[in-house]
Amino acid sequence: MRKIDAHQHFWIFDPVRDSWINDEMLVIKRDFLPADLLPVLKQNGIDGCVAVQASQSEEETRFLLALAAESPEVKGVVGWVDLKANDLDKRLQDYKQYDKLKGFRHILQSEPDKQYMLQSQFQKGIARLQKHGYTYDILIYPEHLPYAVQLAGGFPDQQFVVDHLAKPHIKDQKISDWQKDIQALAKHQNVHCKISGMLTEAKWNSWKTEDFTSYLDVVFNAFGINRVMFGSDWPVCLLAGGYEGTMQVMNNYCAKLSATEQVLFWGDNATSFYNL
């Protein structure tokens, strides 16, 4: 079984650019590069990974592509591009020279306008991604889900994946509104879901494996086994149990899946979605 980590990050820490990393997060207030990740992947039986942008610049995209070019374990990159740029077509065409560039992401969760993804210029950019064959990662909070439903419905041929289950309120065990909205989003067959980033949405130092079960049930039932994929959110996961804690939660949950379903979840779905 080929295992793929569909969501992790690299950075050379910059206190201004990375100001979201506050003093509660000292464990990740440093550089993280492939040399730091590869032993962790090996230790956990993971064969490859997808590096996802953490800052919004094309410099970041080039940084990740350069790391991927030197690291065979980095199978794909999700970069950033200005989807509102007038010369977006040219930029996307230029990126075609990089085989490992698979898709793009914008940090929608941080936009003051909660409906940013519905702005006409942004949607024109999504249409260009579709034309050039790139995927799009949706990074949002639960309150953005109704807008994501509209986005997905407007572009039925665009391949989308929701990062981190749309960050449900696991710490407070709130589920009903998120469940209703995630089920509505999952009705769009072009939308997939990353089972990632859960530990940091729970109580960092005192979560229990069972805290995640009801959320996992919702996502697996809503999206089905062909549209869910594993992601660690390393190194952010170091805040709340690390790679080992993430694997503990998912190995426990996946024990009830069939061998075929496990192959899909752990690697084949990500390989297919990102064309790795």
Residue 177 has a pLDDT of 96
* Band (32; pLDDT cuts 50, 70, 90): very high
Q: Residue 229: what are its φ and ψ, rounded to 5°?
A: -145, 150
For 36-73, what is each residue's pLDDT tens digit?
A: 999 999 999 999 999 999 999 999 999 999 999 999 99
3-state secondary structure (DSSP) of residue 273 = helix
Opening angle at CA 204, ends 233 and 111, nearest 5: 55
Is the pLDDT confidence value at 82 over 90?
yes
The pLDDT of 83-87, averaged and rounded, is: 96
Residue 120 has a pLDDT of 96
Residue 16 has a pLDDT of 86
The phi-psi region of residue 123 (left if phi > 0; otherwise alpha if psi is between -120 and 50; otherwise beta) is alpha
Q: How far apart are CA 264 and CA 225, in angstroms?
A: 7
| Residue ranges making up the domain that contains 236 | 4-273
Selection from 250, 246, 228 nearest residue 237 by Cα? 246
Q: How far apart are CA 246 and CA 169, in angstroms?
A: 17
Q: Which residue has the tokens 């914008």?
A: 106
The pLDDT of 23-33, averaged and rounded, is: 92
Q: Which residue has the tokens 């069972």?
A: 210
Q: Which residue has the tokens 């994501």?
A: 148
Contact 178, 169 (CB under 8 A): yes
CATH, residue 262: 3.20.20.140
Rg of the chain taking only CA atoms, in angstroms: 17
* Average confidence score pLDDT of the chain: 96
For 107-154, what is each residue's pLDDT tens digit?
A: 999 999 999 999 999 999 999 998 999 999 999 999 999 999 999 999
For 187-237, what is each residue's pLDDT tens digit?
A: 999 999 999 999 999 999 999 999 999 999 999 999 999 999 999 999 999
For 146-175, what is each residue's pLDDT tens digit?
A: 999 999 999 999 999 999 999 999 999 999
The pLDDT of 80-106, averaged and rounded, is: 97
Q: At what angle do helices 145-154 and 120-132 cross, to 10 degrees?
A: 50
Contact 163, 7 (CB under 8 A): yes
Give the global pTM: 0.96
| DSSP E strand stretches across the chain | 4-8, 48-52, 74-79, 101-106, 135-138, 160-162, 191-195, 228-230
Residue 1 has a pLDDT of 87
The pLDDT of 263-267, averaged and rounded, is: 98
* Band (23; pLDDT cuts 50, 70, 90): confident
Q: How far apart are CA 190 and CA 257, in angstroms?
A: 23
Structural domain count of the chain: 1
